[in-house]
Amino acid sequence: MNKFIIQVNGTVYGSTASFRALRFTESVLSLGHQVSSIFFYQDGVTNSSALICPASDEHDLHRAWERLAKEHNLKLVNCVSAALRRGVLSEQDAQENNKTSANASNHFVMGGLGELVTGIEESDRLICF
């Protein structure tokens, strides 16, 4: 059994990188390997917006991450500074920045780049998308 850390840099809509990250993670888990965390950086943080509303006949990547995380008890971590710059805020971020609403899903936690680095240190493979 090997331990993977997945880094998602691609945007939730407009690129297929996040979709590949999801499919790859599903395979890692189905093959019995471990995922230390999924770290969303750069435009990848848009995956965590609970306000993503794709049409009913389109793939809902945000929902798919939530479902996968729930099913496998996965850690979905947003880089907080990358998220703030792109308008993805947790309740706490919204309060601290005097914004009227938050949009980050509760299934994603806000973290720092330090979590990515420690994740890389304790994993066998880093795979970026």
Partner 1 sequence: MKKICVIFRHSPTGNTSSREGLDFAMLSASFEQEVSVVFTDEAVLHLLAGQQPELVGSKDYLSTFKALSLYDIETVLVCHDSAKRFGIASSEFNFEAELASATQIQQLIQDANEVVVY
Partner 2 sequence: MILHQVQTSATVDNALNCCLRYIDDSDSILLTDDALNCLLDKQWQQRLSNYKLYVLIEDIEARGLSHRLPQSTNISIIDYDQFVLATLQHTKVITW
* Contact call for residue 23 and partner 2 (CB under 8 A): yes
What is the distance between the alpha carbons of residues 104 and 4, in angstroms, rounded to a whole number? 24
* Contact call for residue 114 and partner 1 (CB under 8 A): yes
Residue type for position 75: K
Q: Is 128 a catalytic residue?
A: no
27 interacts with, out of partner 2, partner 1, none, CB within 5 to 8 A per kind: partner 2
23 interacts with, out of partner 1, partner 2, none, CB within 5 to 8 A per kind: partner 2
Shortest Cβ distance from residue 28 to partner 2 (Å)?
Answer: 5
Q: Are 9 and 41 in contact (CB under 8 A)?
A: yes
20 membership: H or E segment, kind and range: helix 17-30
What sign does the dihedral 122-129-33-39 (CA atoms) show? positive
Shortest Cβ distance from residue 44 to partner 2 (Å)?
Answer: 12
Q: What is the 3-state secondary structure (H, E, C) of 59-81?
A: CCHHHHHHHHHHHHCCCEEEEHH
Instruction: Annotate each residue in 31-70 with x if it binds partner 1 (CB under 8 A) or - if it does not, as one string.
Output: ----------xx----------------------------
Two tokens, residue 72: 């496998």
Which of 79, 80, 83, 116 does the annotation list as catalytic? 79
Shortest Cβ distance from residue 1 to partner 2 (Å)?
Answer: 11
* Contact call for residue 20 and partner 2 (CB under 8 A): yes
